Chain A
Amino acid sequence: MELLRDKAKSLLKSGAVQVVIGYAAGSATDRFRPHFARSADEADRLVFGDGCRQNLAVYLLKPEVRAMGKAAVVGGPTTLRTLLQYAVENQVSDGSAVALALEDGRVEELTSFAAVEEYLAQRPHGLSEEDRAELEQHAGRSREDRWAYWSGELARCIRCYACRAACPLCYCEQCITENNQPQWVPVASDAFGNLEWNVVRAMHLAGRCVNCGSCAAACPQNIRIDLLNQVLAQEAMTQFGAEAGYSVRKEYALSVFKPDDKETFIR
C-alpha cells in the first residue's frame, strides 16, 4: 500500500501525471470505490486489495477525467490489456497514460505501450484455470440445457446497461441499442429483447474483450454475462488467432479484411 501511495505521490509531484486513478475504501469493509488522486493527500487514500477488481481503464476515455491531464491507472493484467486494446483501436496514444501494475504488493510503473507489452509477455496469457473450468462445464452441457440456462438468466436482465457502462471497451458514443431507426435491438426487457441485447453486445466485443469481468461485477441482477464474452474470446482466438490486449500491432478480427479470408462469403 505504501509503495503505491509513494509512487502516486512522486508521479503527481514531478508532474509526470496529473491524476492517479486507483481505489479507495468504500461503503463496506469488503467494498472499494474508484478514486482519483490529484494531490498527496488524495494519494494517501489509495488502497489495493482483493476486492479491487473493477477495470479502471474505463475512466481513461471519460471526458471529465481526460480534462484533468495525463493519468496513471492502477490495475492488474486485464487493465494493462485494456490499454493495449485502446491503442489498437486508436483511443489512447503511446505515452499519454501511465500504468501502475500491481502484483503481490509490488508496483511497476509502465510508461509506454512497449513496456506494457513486455510486462504482459512475461505473464501467463489466456483464461485462469478457474475460468477455464467454468467454461468447460458450460460447454459440456447439452444445447437444450444451455438454452434453458441463458433464457432464464437473460430474462432477469433489466436493461440498466451497467455492463456497458462498466466495460472499458463499450465506449461507442451511440450504442446500437439506442438506435430506433431502424430499431436493431428490441427495447422491452423481456426474454427476447434481453437475449438480443446481450448477444449483440457480446458479438461486438468478440476478439476485443480482455476478460476483466467488470460487466458481470456491475450487473445488479448477478448475471454472468462475462461467460458469453469468454466463449467468444476463445472462439476469436481459435478462428483468427486474435487475443485482445497483448500487442499494439494486433489487428482485431472483426475490423480487418483480407483477400485470402478463409470464409468465402466475405471474399
Chain B
Amino acid sequence: MSESSILQRASLGAWLEAMGRAGRRVLAPVQEADRVVFGTPSAPEQIATGFVQTPGSAKSVVFPPFDEMLRFRTNGEDVHVEEPSIAAEPTVLFGVRPCDAASFATLKAVFTWDSPDAWVESRMANLTVISVSCTQCDEYCFCTSVGGGPGSTQGSDILLTPLDDRRWLVEVLTEKGRAAAGLAPQLFAPANGEAASKEKLLAQVPVRFEAKEVAGELPSLFDHPEVWKEQSLRCLGCGACAFVCPTCSCFDIQDERVRDQGTRLRCWDSCGFRLFTLHASGHNPRHVQSERWRQRVMHKFSYQPERLGVTGCVGCGRCSRACPVDMNLGEHVRRLSEMSV
C-alpha cells in the first residue's frame, strides 16, 4: 500500500497542528535538559533529531511502567470494585526509529495471544506510528540481524526518510497512515523518483547474526555448561535492560492497600530479578543469574519466534547502552550463534 510523496520539514508544524485539531495527542522524542524523552512537543523545533536512539523505548505509550487495573473498597464482607476506563486517547507517535515501530508487532503478539489485553489493545488501536529512517547507527545497533533495518517499514503507519535537511520522503503504509496524512493533504507533494535514492541514504547497520538461524540453534545450547555462566558472570541482576527494552512485556500484579481500600497495579517486571521466579515456598527455579540470563536470551530469540511467530528483539541496542556492566546483547547472541554452527 506504500505511496511515496515529499514533505517539507518546514511543513511539520502545520501537520502537527492539523493532528491536534483532529483531537490526536502527539508524542515525540523531545530534548529535556541533557536527555531525549518521549513527550508532547509544543512546537516542531522541540522534536529532537540527530540522536541514534532514545534511552527509553516507545513501549510505554501502550504498556506504561504501571497500570491501574482496579480500585477496591471493602466493608466487612462487601467488596466494592471500580474499574478505570480503558478507552485510549487517539495518539500519534512521531519520530520513532523503525526498530521501535517494529516492536509493536511483538507487543501485540504477546498481549493478544490468548485473551486480549483490553488496555494494550485499546491503546494500539488508537495509535498511529510515524517513524523516521535511520541515517546513522552506533556500535550497539543490530536491527539488520533480527529482520529489521534502518529504513524498514515494518510496524509503521508512515515512514519518513530524510532526503536532505529540508525534505522527507514520505511512505504512507496503512489506512491509519493515510488518515494521518489526510489531515493535511496539501502538505504532501508527489515524489519524482526520490524513492529510488532511499537505500543510499540509510545507515549501514552490520549484520551480526541471523535471528532465524539462532532460533533453530538455541535449544541445543540450553544445557551448555559454560556459556550462560560466562556471559552472565558480570550481570548484576537489575532490570535496566528489560525496562528500556521495547519488547519486554513481563509485569507483576500487586495490590496496594491502605486499611479498607486499595488499588490493583500491574508494574513492569524483569526476568533478571531474583524475585521474578521466587516461589512462596522459598524455592527458586531460576536460582542463579546465569539461568535468568539464559531465560532472557531464550525468550527473545527462541520461545517468542517459535510460539508467537515474532522476533522478541528488534535490535535497538538500548539494553546494551543502558547496562551498567556492558552486557552487550548483540555480541552475546552472535557468540552463541557461532558456537552452535
Q: A163 — nearest CB in chain B belongs to which residue?
A: B238
- Across the interface, do B65 and A158 meet the contact criterion of CB distance under 8 Å? yes
Contact of A54 with B by CB under 8 A: yes
Query: A164 contacts which chain B residues (CB < 8 A)?
Result: 238
* Contact pick for A221, options B55, B140, B288, CB 8 Å: B55
Contact of A176 with B by CB under 8 A: no
* Contact pick for A220, options B140, B233, B243, B325, CB 8 Å: B243
Identify 16 residue pairs between A and B in the complex whose beta-carbon atoms are under 8 Å apart, listed by A's number: A26-B328, A27-B326, A32-B326, A36-B233, A54-B325, A58-B236, A64-B233, A158-B244, A159-B268, A161-B239, A183-B254, A186-B256, A217-B324, A218-B236, A218-B238, A220-B244
* Contact pick for B254, options A34, A162, A180, CB 8 Å: A180
- Across the interface, do A28 and B139 meet the contact criterion of CB distance under 8 Å? yes
Interface residue tally of chain A, by bracket? Answer: 35 or more
Contact of A33 with B by CB under 8 A: yes
Q: Determine the distance from Cα of A35 to Cα of B233 in the docked complex, in whole angstroms.
A: 9
Q: Determine the distance from Cα of A36 to Cα of B234 in the docked complex, in whole angstroms.
A: 8
State how many angstroms separate the Cβ of B196 from the closest Cβ of chain A. Answer: 34
- Across the interface, do B267 and A188 meet the contact criterion of CB distance under 8 Å? yes
Assess A187 versus B325: contact at CB under 8 Å? Given A28-B139, A164-B238, A220-B243.
Answer: no
Q: Determine the distance from Cα of A27 to Cα of B256 in the docked complex, in whole angstroms.
A: 41
- Across the interface, do A165 and B267 meet the contact criterion of CB distance under 8 Å? no
Query: A59 contacts which chain B residues (CB < 8 A)?
Result: 234
Assess A183 versus B257: contact at CB under 8 Å? Given A165-B237, A220-B244.
Answer: yes
Contact of A190 with B by CB under 8 A: yes
Assess A178 versus B324: contact at CB under 8 Å? Given A162-B239, A188-B267.
Answer: no
Tell me the A142-182 residues at the B interface (CB within 8 Å): 156, 158-162, 164-166, 178, 180
Contact of A85 with B by CB under 8 A: no
Query: A217 contacts which chain B residues (CB < 8 A)?
Result: 324
> What 0/1 readout, one digit per residue, does chain A (36-78) give for beta carbons within 8 Å of chain B?
1000000000000000001000110001110000000000000
- Across the interface, do B331 and A27 meet the contact criterion of CB distance under 8 Å? yes
Contact of B5 with A by CB under 8 A: no
- Across the interface, do B233 and A189 meet the contact criterion of CB distance under 8 Å? no
Q: Determine the distance from Cα of A232 to Cα of B293 in the docked complex, in whole angstroms.
A: 35
Q: Determine the distance from Cα of A75 to Cα of B220 in the docked complex, in whole angstroms.
A: 39
State how many angstroms separate the Cβ of A88 from the closest Cβ of chain B. Answer: 23
Q: Determine the distance from Cα of A64 to Cα of B331 in the docked complex, in whole angstroms.
A: 22
Q: Determine the distance from Cα of A63 to Cα of B284 in the docked complex, in whole angstroms.
A: 15
State how many angstroms separate the Cβ of B288 from the closest Cβ of chain A. Answer: 7
Q: Determine the distance from Cα of A35 to Cα of B234 in the docked complex, in whole angstroms.
A: 7
Query: A190 contacts which chain B residues (CB < 8 A)?
Result: 66
* Contact pick for A187, options B244, B256, B322, CB 8 Å: B256
State how many angstroms separate the Cβ of B290 from the closest Cβ of chain A. Answer: 8
Contact of B56 with A by CB under 8 A: yes
Question: Top 10 closest A-B pairs, CB basis?
Answer: A218-B324, A165-B238, A33-B326, A165-B236, A220-B322, A160-B239, A162-B238, A34-B234, A26-B326, A162-B240
> What 0/1 readout, one digit per residue, does chain A (176-203) give for beta carbons within 8 Å of chain B?
0010100100111110000000000000
- Total residue contacts A-B, CB cutoff 8 A: 108
Contact of B137 with A by CB under 8 A: no
- Across the interface, do A187 and B238 meet the contact criterion of CB distance under 8 Å? no
Assess A187 versus B267: contact at CB under 8 Å? Given A27-B139, A220-B240, A220-B322.
Answer: yes
Contact of A18 with B by CB under 8 A: no
> What 0/1 readout, one digit per residue, does chain B (247-290) give for beta carbons within 8 Å of chain A?
00000101011000000010110100101000000000000111
Given contacts A162-B239, A187-B267, 8 further A-B contacts (CB under 8 A): A27-B320, A32-B326, A59-B234, A162-B236, A162-B240, A218-B236, A218-B324, A220-B322
Query: A34 contacts which chain B residues (CB < 8 A)?
Result: 234, 325-326
Q: Determine the distance from Cα of A35 to Cα of B325 in the docked complex, in whole angstroms.
A: 10
Q: A28 — nearest CB in chain B belongs to which residue?
A: B139
Query: B265 contacts which chain A residues (CB < 8 A)?
Result: 187-188
Q: B37 — nearest CB in chain A belongs to which residue?
A: A156
Q: A33 — nearest CB in chain B belongs to which residue?
A: B326
Query: B322 contacts which chain A residues (CB < 8 A)?
Result: 162, 220
Q: Determine the distance from Cα of A161 to Cα of B244 in the docked complex, in whole angstroms.
A: 13
- Across the interface, do A159 and B267 meet the contact criterion of CB distance under 8 Å? yes
Q: Determine the distance from Cα of A36 to Cα of B37 in the docked complex, in whole angstroms.
A: 35
Q: A161 — nearest CB in chain B belongs to which residue?
A: B238
Contact of A214 with B by CB under 8 A: yes
Contact of A93 with B by CB under 8 A: no
State how many angstroms separate the Cβ of B330 from the closest Cβ of chain A. Answer: 9
Q: Determine the distance from Cα of A36 to Cα of B252 in the docked complex, in whole angstroms.
A: 34
Contact of B198 with A by CB under 8 A: no
Contact of A141 with B by CB under 8 A: no
State how many angstroms separate the Cβ of A33 from the closest Cβ of chain B. Answer: 4
Contact of A222 with B by CB under 8 A: yes
Q: A19 — nearest CB in chain B belongs to which residue?
A: B233
- Across the interface, do B238 and A222 meet the contact criterion of CB distance under 8 Å? no
Contact of B83 with A by CB under 8 A: no
> What 0/1 readout, one digit per residue, does chain B (215-244) give for beta carbons within 8 Å of chain A?
000000000000001000110111110111
Query: A54 contacts which chain B residues (CB < 8 A)?
Result: 324-325
Q: B235 — nearest CB in chain A belongs to which residue?
A: A165
Contact of A31 with B by CB under 8 A: yes
Assess A27 versus B140: contact at CB under 8 Å? Given A54-B324, A166-B324, A187-B66.
Answer: yes
State how many angstroms separate the Cβ of B323 from the closest Cβ of chain A. Answer: 8
- Across the interface, do B234 and A160 meet the contact criterion of CB distance under 8 Å? no
Q: Determine the distance from Cα of A161 to Cα of B234 in the docked complex, in whole angstroms.
A: 16
Query: A31 contacts which chain B residues (CB < 8 A)?
Result: 326
> What 0/1 readout, one digit per residue, does chain B (300-341) give for beta carbons within 8 Å of chain A?
000000000000000000001010111010010000000000
